[in-house]
Amino acid sequence: MPAQVGDRLADVDTPALIIDLVAFERNIAAMAEAVRGKGVRLRPHAKSHKCPEIARRQIAQGAIGICCQKVGEAEAFVAAGITDVLVTNEIVGGHKLARLAALARSASIGVLVDDPGNVVELAKAAAHAGSTIEVLVEVDVGAHRCGVAPGAPALELARAVASHAAAGLRFRGLQAYQGAAQHLRRPAERRATILRAVECARDTKVLIEGAGMACPTVTGAGTGTYLLEGNSGVYTELQPGSYIFMDADYGRNELNSSEPVFAQSLYVWTTVMSAPAADRAIVDAGLKAFAVDSGLPLVADRPELECTKASDEHGVLQVPIGAEKLRVGDKLRLVPGHCDPTVNLYDWLVGVRGGQVECVWPVSARGALL
């Protein structure tokens, strides 16, 4: 554990993942306020934090439950007392399906499908476990990842799910997540992309209901677009995740005046372990301390510095000519490029307020790949 409650931030061992609790709490409250009165439910995505304590705080401010991506994540949250979990992924393989079905005996568990054969195997697992599983058909609304095509293919799969009601499957609606839109930089680009997704979701919902089936849920959205889905009149549930922390990549999105600004609250706390030249310093956070799929981290406390290279345990900072030189032992906050995979590198989240450690939370679902 990198810290104890009551420690000074300056004494927190590094590298550590720290949360500015003031910004974090404001972010949770801002999202709750942003969706209030829109007639939509908030189901935050817990893959961003993998931490039951954070899920409890989100639910306390109005979220109906959480999303996660893996059965192992769902197991960790249910074990911690979270009783409404949607696995926003297809789950394939007998062992995983058996675990999912068993979990549904003690919590409300939802899952996605986009293949009729997977529906059959899911039904077998539910029947064997004696449980009921909420099933949503995933529709490809433009991201071109998982999902069936909108319209007739989605209706056909919804019928397949409904045909297994006696085995314990309950058709609940549609997953319509446009992940590719979340990091389009300009508001107009995001709006145009989400309008197409909304159209796909609306037409598919109308088709299913026209066939005599209830389609009570249309769920999706992320931190970059949730207001668009929330105002669509089609989506009933929103799944933003990164808003609690934010990261350098989300920070590159342009916002319009109607969008709340979520503050950066998550940082990698790191120590300068070498300062071999006036223009270069080395910190003890590298590839094992932050994800680089969305670029190298930013230096929050010294924005004139640039992280130019990372290896397993080293981060190289470039110090501009004329800037104050870094010294061995200096500590800095880095803004990770992508918060979700960065969190997955740590066992603990260290909550800091006023320069002092207030809490240390376990990342209970860390590494839950199965």
What is the spatial distance between Cα 50 and Cα 47, in angstroms, rounded to a whole number? 5
CB 197 within 8 A of CB 176: yes
Single-letter code of the amino acid located at 58: Q
CB count within 10 Å of CB 48 equals: 27
Residue 39 — very low, low, confident or very high, per pLDDT cuts 50/70/90? Answer: very high
Tens digit of each residue's pLDDT (9 = 90 or more) over 115-152: 999 999 999 999 999 999 999 999 999 999 999 999 99
Tens digit of each residue's pLDDT (9 = 90 or more) over 5-23: 999 999 999 999 999 999 9
Residue corresponding to tokens 């319009």: 256
What is the spatial distance between Cα 103 and Cα 251, in angstroms, rounded to a whole number? 37
The answer to whether residue 258 scores a pLDDT higher than 90 is: no
What is the spatial distance between Cα 44 and Cα 52, in angstroms, rounded to a whole number? 12
Residue 271, strand partner residues: 331
Tens digit of each residue's pLDDT (9 = 90 or more) over 190-246: 999 999 999 999 999 999 999 999 999 999 999 999 999 999 999 999 999 999 999
By C-alpha distance, which of 60, 58, 66 is closest to 28?
58
Q: How many residues does the chain have?
A: 370
What is the spatial distance between Cα 94 and Cα 105, in angstroms, rounded to a whole number? 17
pLDDT at residue 356, rounded to an integer: 98
- Strand duo 331-335 + 266-277: pairing: antiparallel
What is the spatial distance between Cα 4 and Cα 142, in angstroms, rounded to a whole number? 46
Q: Write down the number of H helices and E strands in the chain.
A: 9, 17
Tens digit of each residue's pLDDT (9 = 90 or more) over 162-179: 999 999 999 999 999 999
Tens digit of each residue's pLDDT (9 = 90 or more) over 271-312: 999 999 999 999 999 999 999 999 999 999 999 999 999 999
CB count within 10 Å of CB 173 equals: 24
Residue corresponding to tokens 């991506």: 69
Residue 61 — very low, low, confident or very high, per pLDDT cuts 50/70/90? Answer: very high
Tens digit of each residue's pLDDT (9 = 90 or more) over 314-365: 999 999 999 999 999 999 999 999 999 999 999 999 999 999 999 999 999 9
Residue 313 — very low, low, confident or very high, per pLDDT cuts 50/70/90? Answer: very high
What is the spatial distance between Cα 22 and Cα 155, in angstroms, rounded to a whole number? 46
